[in-house]
Amino acid sequence: MRKKVFLLLGILTISALSFSAEKQSLEASLNSIENKFNDLLEKEAQKKREFEAQKAQLESEVADLKAKEEGKEKLFEKLKKDSEVRWYRDKYKQVLNNYDTYYKNLAKLIKEKE
């Protein structure tokens, strides 16, 4: 009977120890998982901050490029207007030259006929 009692006490002690070991192992496992989860959350927050900084940089670059494009369009309009003015100026010079040539020839004809 004593052997049975010692055997039962031994089994009871071993089961209690193994249960507490499982509990500690489970707690350690949960703590490990929680630490990994917190690390992932921290990395995610860091990536989010990096993406927000990159987004702000890209938005400023886009605004800069749009301003340059607008400047290009204004310059193109100015050059178009200048080209048009030059064309009219050249046309005016041509008409003026024809006018001068016509009246010079007319003056020559008048002198020849006199």
What is the C-alpha separation between 65 and 58, in angstroms, rounded? 10
Cα 21 to its chain centre, rounded Å, is 54
What is the C-alpha separation between 29 and 11, in angstroms, rounded? 26
- The set of residues, in sequence order, having a beta carbon less than 8 Å from that of 55 and lying 6+ positions away, is none
6, two tokens: 């010692």
For the chain, the domains span: 1-113
The pLDDT score that the predictor gives to residue 4 is: 75
pLDDT in tens, 23-54: 677 778 888 899 999 999 999 999 999 999 99
The pLDDT score that the predictor gives to residue 110 is: 87
73, two tokens: 């369009």
The pLDDT score that the predictor gives to residue 64 is: 93
91, two tokens: 């046309």
